[in-house]
């Protein structure tokens, strides 16, 4: 099938290159850090965006996250302030799942909109020190001081073909533009596989990649947001429910905790849940079964189910953890501030 789609991939790449060549880039008067990827979904860029913003906050500086707000239910003409420094100002329908999830994990302004130059202008009210572009590697309208690219160790480049024949958004040579390359899920592949990927990235970009994993796991009940001891769910059968770019990331994290997956219900990325979706799963649960989902899915599921079902649904909370060289990563950020 990919060979039949190859002509479409050539057209897609041609249009992308034209867009890049003829789009006039704007230079902001503040530092701009982009976090993106070179493939379609599943590279864990959103947790990296959160981690970058948290570090900037730790330096007593104000980051503002600029996101597109992909697959919003309500699409507005202009930009939307999802949250300010103190509180959430928008909702899931107007924000999109990933920006709204981020708004619950970090106390910094988040603005969404297709025109991020406009969003940056609106952000001036927050006196930002740094703009963090969510999914910004292929966004040409803003010049940046640092380009961070995330690569999923489990499926780095697919079949190395451009969308729609493959999962690449650009040719691999685009990695030469990256200032920082982060390999996510680095603990889910063998050392030999990781070394091979490291060498491949270095040969293309001339840069040594950082390695990160999912860690600092916490489990909370969706009903009241209370965290529970991991040992309390180790004797339960896990019914995995998710609608994310890379379900294997979630599955591997569950296995990493030593939990038993009884059944999997996998929906497409950014899936909008309906009441029947969860009710039908709930009706099939045994006494020792619990539903485990992601933070991205939580914000959409909890609005369509009743309180009784919520008691059976738990959320796995994770953070990005650097295997080593975190200090060098932080130094890269400090250097451009």
pLDDT tens-digit series, residues 60-100: 999 999 999 888 888 888 999 999 999 999 999 999 999 99
Give residue 6's pLDDT: 76
Check pLDDT > 90 for residue 332: yes
Give residue 3's pLDDT: 66
Give residue 134's pLDDT: 96
Check pLDDT > 70 for residue 194: yes
Average pLDDT score over residue span 210-220: 95
pTM of the model: 0.93
Q: Where are the domains of the chain?
A: 2-213+321-336, 216-319
pLDDT > 70 in the chain, percent: 99
For 169, 202, 221, 222, 336, the CA distances from 227, given in Å and listed in that order, are 38, 41, 7, 9, 37
Confidence of residue 15 (pLDDT cuts 50, 70, 90): confident
| 223-278 tens-digit pLDDT | 988 999 988 899 999 999 999 988 999 999 999 999 999 999 999 999 999 999 99
Confidence of residue 18 (pLDDT cuts 50, 70, 90): confident
Is-contact 63 163, C-beta < 8 A?
no
Domain at 2-213+321-336: CATH architecture: 3-Layer(aba) Sandwich (3.40)
Give residue 1's pLDDT: 63
| 116-158 tens-digit pLDDT | 999 999 999 999 999 999 999 999 999 999 999 999 999 999 9
Give residue 144's pLDDT: 95
> In this structure, are strands 289-294 and 237-242 parallel, antiparallel, or unpaired?
parallel
Give residue 2's pLDDT: 66
Check pLDDT > 90 for residue 12: no
Check pLDDT > 80 for residue 45: yes
For 20, 221, 319, the CA distances from 315, given in Å and listed in that order, are 39, 6, 13
Instruction: Give the separation between CA 131 and CA 141, rounded to whole angstroms.
Output: 14
């Amino acid at each position: 099938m990919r060979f039949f789609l190859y002509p479409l991939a050539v057209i897609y790449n041609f249009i992308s290159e034209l867009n890049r060549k003829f789009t006039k880039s704007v230079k902001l008067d503040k530092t701009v850090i982009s976090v993106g990827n070179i493939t379609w979904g599943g590279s864990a860029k959103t947790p990296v965006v959160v981690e970058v913003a948290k570090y900037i906050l730790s330096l007593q500086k104000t980051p503002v996250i600029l996101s597109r707000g992909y697959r919003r239910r309500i699409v507005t003409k202009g930009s939307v302030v999802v949250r300010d420094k103190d509180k959430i100002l928008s909702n899931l329908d107007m924000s999109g799942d990933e920006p709204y999830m981020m708004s619950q994990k970090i106390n910094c302004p988040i603005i969404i909109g297709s025109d991020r130059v406009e969003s940056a202008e609106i952000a001036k009210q927050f006196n930002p020190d740094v703009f963090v572009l969510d999914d910004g590697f292929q966004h040409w309208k803003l010049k940046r001081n640092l380009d961070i690219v995330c690569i999923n160790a489990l499926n780095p480049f697919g079949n190395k073909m451009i969308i729609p024949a493959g999962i690449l958004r650009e040719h691999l040579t685009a990695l030469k533009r990256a200032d920082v390359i982060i390999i996510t899920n680095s603990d889910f592949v063998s050392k030999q596989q990781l070394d091979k990927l490291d060498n491949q990235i270095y040969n293309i970009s001339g840069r040594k990649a950082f390695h990160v994993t999912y860690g600092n796991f916490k489990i909370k009940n969706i009903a009241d947001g209370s965290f529970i001891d991991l040992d309390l769910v180790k004797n339960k059968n896990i019914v995995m429910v998710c609608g994310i770019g890379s379900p294997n990331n979630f599955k591997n994290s569950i296995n990493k905790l030593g939990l038993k997956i009884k059944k999997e219900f996998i929906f497409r990325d950014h899936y909008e849940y309906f009441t029947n979706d969860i009710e039908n799963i709930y009706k099939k649960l045994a006494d020792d079964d619990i539903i485990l989902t992601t933070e991205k899915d939580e914000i959409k599921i909890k609005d369509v189910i009743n309180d009784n079902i919520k008691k059976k649904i738990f959320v796995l909370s994770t953070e990005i953890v650097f295997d080593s060289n975190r200090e060098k990563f932080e130094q890269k950020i400090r250097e451009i501030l």
